[in-house]
Chains A and B, each alone.
Chain A
Amino acid sequence: MKLLSGTLAILSLFAFSILPAGPATAAKQPEQAWEVLNPSGTVAIETVKPAQRITTLEGKTIVLRWNNKNNGDKVLERLAELLGEKVPSAKVIKLYETEKSTIMTSGSKAEAQRIAKLAKDAKADLVIAAQAD
């Protein structure tokens, strides 16, 4: 095992490309036995239990959530029209009209929770979100 100094490695920045199809390759270096740390970090994600699904939209409250991406509101406007035609017993709430502060991509967990709570306060049985872009 051989530890390269930082200086040598930085100089190597200019010596060759490491990309798989790199065009310029330096003279073959001697093979070495390395021991290195895996820098990728283990993943820590707590599994979330998904919400109970619904099986009908009849009589349900459907909350439409727009995240501010261009035309996402127009997607939901058309969707609201179609829901009104196909499921007239459903109550459709456009959260982006009733709670304008939700017109945003939630930049933090706290913001995401705030928006989710507003949907819950609206007694949503289902949230349909348009991401668009």
Chain B
Amino acid sequence: MGIPTVTITSSEFTGLARNTMKSIGFADMAFVEVPHPMGMIPLDEIRAKVDKAFPQIMKMATAWQPSAAGASASVPAYPAERIKFKGDYEALNKMFYSKKWSIGLPIVPPTPQAVAAMLKGTKRDPSEVVWTVPPKMGRLTVELVAAIGTMAGAKPEHMPLLLAVVKALSHPDYDWRGSSTTTAPTVPVVIISGPIVKELGIGYSTGAIGGEMPVNTAIGYFINLVGDIVGGSMPPDPDKSSHGSTGDLVALVVGENEEQNPWKQSYAVERGFQPTDSVVTSFAAYLGTNNTDHTSGNGEQLLNTISLGVAGVACGITSCFADYDKPYALSNKVKYAFLLLGPEHADTIYRGFPSKQAVKEYVIKKAVAPLWMYAPDVCKPPESFGEYTPDTLMPRFAKPESVHIVVTGGPGKQSQIWVPFPTGVRPVLVKVEK
């Protein structure tokens, strides 16, 4: 837009700011650093920090000039560089880790032969760039999808699925940049629906999100290899996740348990796809929570305890009356929830709620918390709500569209609740093209 800027950053986040600057094409910008933290400190401390920084702000506003931009070398995205290396398997892994080509778990070596075998799983041109991955803006070609898929333990027949996952993650509604650089422990969530679940042996029953699910694990590992190696989002900069989570190593990948879905309609079909379509659904999530309810004897009782989880998960950042159809805003954060219902829980709910819509309408009424439990500023009831006090129960969501239902997992009285990173606009659904 041609407007000069001065950006005030706290010292712990200047690195992320500079990284972002480079990734959008600037060689230099005017930054003024103030001592971290700025959030959650008293007003007098904030004012003192600004007073101290003011001379520098004035200087950067009027006397700063950007350094000359260096000409960027034009390096083709394809073919990927071939590296020769001597050493045993452990040494090869150490070399990969030292070059930031892996994330701390062993990899299957992406030899040219292995990558060529993977490429046989797709008709796509290996030179095609399928995603320029933020924040580093590395170009992910079909060849690199095959290489990184190899590293993660994927097989040639997984290539169409890997490419569909990439398409979903790269959609603007996902917000890969924000979710992969935030201080929050975000997890890429991928739900797979349709015939491909059984065709590829994707876990959808007992332990589906855990170990011993080689396809789920390979896809989940692939996602984080892409994000960290090609996207460059590694801690401490630009991945600022305060704690991180195991989701930074292996993303959550799970198949729908369609055969035990009492509503007889998969999530993908509910969203407009055909039962014969294989579909990837993805969103960036905050760490989910579990519902372990062995005693509720009917759907209402069970949805009551599930609603407690819906109201509480990602506490601190969630808004009341979050509106699925309105954009992210200060008072419209975390605007939907996925209920990953175990089949036994689904059956219990189904007996009282023969339609998913009825479940959604019930949950938005019951997923409530008193106003005083919401963080300051994020819960702004609409004027039509009327008078309220700090003890008034405020619903988390404004509309049933905020509740998304997936049946997955195996026997047991368990369900999970996952909610999105707030700048994620919608869950992204992509058909797997074979």
Which of A's residues lie within 8 Å of B, judged by CB? Answer: 1, 3-4, 6, 9-10, 12-13, 16, 18-20, 25-26, 28-57, 62-63, 68-72, 74-75, 78-79, 82, 86, 100-101, 103-105, 107-110, 113, 116-117, 119-120, 124-133
Instruction: For the complex, give the distance between the alpha carbons of A39 and B129 in Å.
Output: 13
Q: Which of B104-153 contact A (CB under 8 A)?
A: 104-115, 129, 132-133, 136-141, 143-144, 147-148, 150-151, 153
B62 & A56 in contact (Cβ 8 Å cutoff): yes
**Which of the residues A33, A37, A49 comes within 8 Å of B110, measured between beta carbons?**
A37
B108 touches which of A6, A18, A54, A101 (Cβ 8 Å): A6
From the candidates A1, A44, A48, A71, name the one contacting B26 in the complex (CB within 8 A).
A48
CA distance in complex: A35, B22 (Å): 32
Q: Say how far A36's CB is from chain B's closest CB, in angstroms.
A: 5
The B1-49 residues at the A interface (CB cut-off 8 A) are: 1-10, 12-13, 17, 22-29, 34, 36-41, 43, 46-47, 49
Interface size of B by CB at 8 A reads 116
Give the contacting residue for B147; candidates A1, A39, A69, A125; CB below 8 A: A39
B106 touches A36 (CB 8 A): no
| Most chain B beta carbons < 10 A, residue from A12, A13, A50, A108 | A50
Which chain A residues border B330 with CB–CB below 8 Å?
68, 100, 103-104
**7 tightest CB-CB pairs across the interface, nearest first?**
A107-B423, A41-B138, A70-B39, A29-B88, A48-B25, A18-B93, A132-B38
Cβ A50 vs Cβ B90 within 8 A: no
Tell me the smallest distance from the CB of B62 to a CB of chain A, in Å: 5
Query: Taking the nearest CB of chain B, how far is it from the CB of A15, in angstroms?
Result: 8
Binds A, one of B79-87, B264-272, B351-359: B79-87
Q: Given A1-B111, A34-B109, A107-B178, A18 and B141 touching (CB < 8 A)?
A: no
Nearest-neighbour CB distance to chain A for B139, whole angstroms, equals 5
- A35 touching B138, Cβ below 8 Å: no
Known: A6-B153, A41-B138, A75-B46. 15 other contacts (CB 8 A): A4-B108, A19-B104, A32-B87, A34-B92, A38-B80, A39-B144, A41-B229, A50-B4, A74-B43, A107-B175, A119-B3, A124-B3, A128-B8, A131-B7, A133-B37
| B390 contacts the other chain (CB 8 A) | no
Complex CA gap A46/B25 in Å reads 5
B72–A78 touching, CB < 8 Å: no
A47 to B25, alpha carbons, bound, how many Å?
Answer: 4
Q: Are B46 and A78 in contact (CB under 8 A)?
A: yes
List of A residues within 8 angstroms of B94 by Cβ: 18, 20
Known: A9-B106, A133-B38. A36 touches B75 (CB 8 A): no
Q: Which residue in A26, A36, A56, A131 is a CB contact (below 8 Å) of B82?
A: A36
Chain B neighbourhood of A132, CB < 8 A: 8, 10, 38-39
A-B contact pairs, 8 of them (CB 8 A): A4-B108, A16-B90, A39-B110, A40-B230, A71-B46, A82-B51, A127-B5, A132-B10
Cα A48 to Cα B2 with chains together (Å)? 10
Q: How many whole Å from A16's CB to the nearest CB in chain B?
A: 6
Which residues of chain B are near A54, meaning CB under 8 Å?
A: 4, 61-62
CB-CB under 8 A for A20 and B97, given A34-B109, A51-B3 = yes
Given contacts A9-B108, A107-B425, contact A45 B87 (CB under 8 A): no
Select which of B7, B107, B113, B139 is within 8 A of A42 by beta carbon.
Answer: B139
For residue B174, give the distance in angstroms from its CB to the closest CB of chain A: 9
- Asked if B172 contacts A131 (CB within 8 A), the reply is no
Is the Cβ of B25 less than 8 Å from the Cβ of A37?
Answer: no
B386 within 8 A of A: no
CB within 8 Å of A: which of B363-391? none
